[in-house]
Amino acid sequence: MSILIDDKTRLLVQGITGNEGSFHTQRCIECGTRVVAGITPGKGGSEILGLPIFNTVAGAIEKTRANASIIFVPAAFAADAIMEAADAGIPLVVCITEGIPVSDMVVVHNYLRGKQTRLIGPNCPGLISPGKCKVGIMAGAIHLPGNVGVVSRSGTLTYETVAQLTSLGIGQSTCIGIGGDPMPGSTFIDILKLFQEDKDTNLVVLIGEIGGTAEQEAANFIKEKMTKPVVAFVAGATAPPGRRMGHAGAIISGSSGTAQDKISALATAGAIIAPSPAEIGTTAKKVLGTLS
């Protein structure tokens, strides 16, 4: 089993005619994703990669019964693209676009309240359920179907973690990069809830980083609600305060944003802490060994 996406997912690509959109659409198709259409205003009625292009999300849904969308629209227009997809009733929207102003995301968050749309991202690599569906930009070849869920704020560390797990013969149920912006559409808690409910996910690997309090909030949820083991790693132990490290949200602006504070909270909640990024896979293997 998996969460959010599977072999029944019918995917739209907003911004399909751009270089990034067309390139990653092809990679998603190669991973078995059922891509049904693209959206580029003004190019409706044409085709790309053998797929029909529509001017609007609503028009595409009417013809294709799409139930997910991935967004490659430039940052200036990405918030409107998210809201258009939500307006059309798309249950899952994955926004890859980086550089969206926080003020735009405030509008998006308010707009999504009360709607059934779940947003992953922005500024994220997306998600993959290996062997079933990929809605993202990660390399499909490094993944292996299995029973370990992965959720991460860091795209690069997601790939590193998955590569380690696969090299050890440990497959993944679903891997999700929630993005490193200050206002992500889905939080650690949102995804942990889904993994907790998924009967075929036996263990969760959580990758955090400096900035904000998302990891502490996840720790509270792990302590109170999770019955499945969680392996955690938090990047940024040597980051200097006040300097943004990579992601827009990765900046230490108070004691709660430090890696050590996050690690302490997660360890206190019962998560098993990987001592270094190179040991995430082996730590997960040890924990899995105690479950058998």
- Is residue 3 assigned to a domain? no
Q: What is the pLDDT of residue 249?
A: 45
Q: What is the pLDDT of residue 1?
A: 67
Annotated catalytic residues are 247
Q: How large is the average pLDDT for residues 202-228?
A: 94
Same domain, 27 and 81: yes
Q: How large is the average pLDDT for residues 170-181?
A: 96
Answer with the one of 64, 91, 120 that is the final residue of a domain: 120
Task: Quickly count helices (H) and strands (E) in the chain.
Answer: 9, 14
Same domain, 170 and 95: no
Mean pLDDT taken over the chain: 93
- Provide the percentage of residues in the chain whose pLDDT is more than 70: 92
- Is residue 130 assigned to a domain? no
Same domain, 176 and 277: yes
**65: Cβ–Cβ under 8 A, 6 or more apart, which residues?**
10, 36
Tokens of 47: 């085709």
Confidence of residue 33 (pLDDT cuts 50, 70, 90): very high
Q: What is the pLDDT of residue 246?
A: 52
Same domain, 286 and 142: yes
* pLDDT over threshold 60, residue 26: yes
Q: How many domains does the chain have?
A: 2
Residue 32 buriedness (CB in 10 A; 0-12 / 13-18 / 19+): middle
- Is residue 166 assigned to a domain? yes
Answer with the one of 120, 155, 182 that is the final residue of a domain: 120
- Is residue 131 assigned to a domain? no
H/E stretch holding 24 reads helix 19-30
Rounded to an integer, what distance in angstroms lies between the CA atom of residue 243 and that of residue 237?
13
- Is residue 57 assigned to a domain? yes
85: CATH: 3.40.50.720
Same domain, 81 and 158: no
Confidence of residue 28 (pLDDT cuts 50, 70, 90): very high
Tokens 């994220």 — which residue? 124
238 contacts 232 by C-beta, under 8 angstroms = no
Q: What is the pLDDT of residue 50?
A: 97
Same domain, 145 and 233: yes
State the Cα torsion 77-183-174-235 to the nearest 10°. 120
Q: How large is the average pLDDT for residues 55-70?
A: 98
Question: How far from 74 is each of 24, 142, 215, CA to CA, in Å?
Answer: 15, 28, 29
286: CATH: 3.40.50.261
* pLDDT over threshold 50, residue 240: yes
Rounded to an integer, what distance in angstroms lies between the CA atom of residue 170 and that of residue 181?
29
- Is residue 40 assigned to a domain? yes
Same domain, 167 and 24: no
Q: Domain range spanning residue 244?
A: 138-291
Confidence of residue 239 (pLDDT cuts 50, 70, 90): low
Residue 209 bridge partners (DSSP): 235
- Is residue 4 assigned to a domain? no
Answer with the one of 120, 151, 181 that is the final residue of a domain: 120
Q: What is the pLDDT of residue 141?
A: 96
Residue 255 buriedness (CB in 10 A; 0-12 / 13-18 / 19+): exposed
Same domain, 254 and 144: yes
Q: How large is the average pLDDT for residues 215-235?
A: 96
Q: How large is the average pLDDT for residues 242-246?
A: 50
Same domain, 147 and 111: no
Q: What is the pLDDT of residue 259?
A: 83
State the Cα torsion 56-57-59-61 to the nearest 10°. 170
* pLDDT over threshold 50, residue 251: no
Q: Which tens digits make up the pLDDT trace of 86-130?
A: 999 999 999 999 999 999 999 999 999 999 999 999 999 999 999
Same domain, 97 and 44: yes
Confidence of residue 257 (pLDDT cuts 50, 70, 90): confident
Same domain, 192 and 72: no
Same domain, 38 and 171: no
- Is residue 150 assigned to a domain? yes
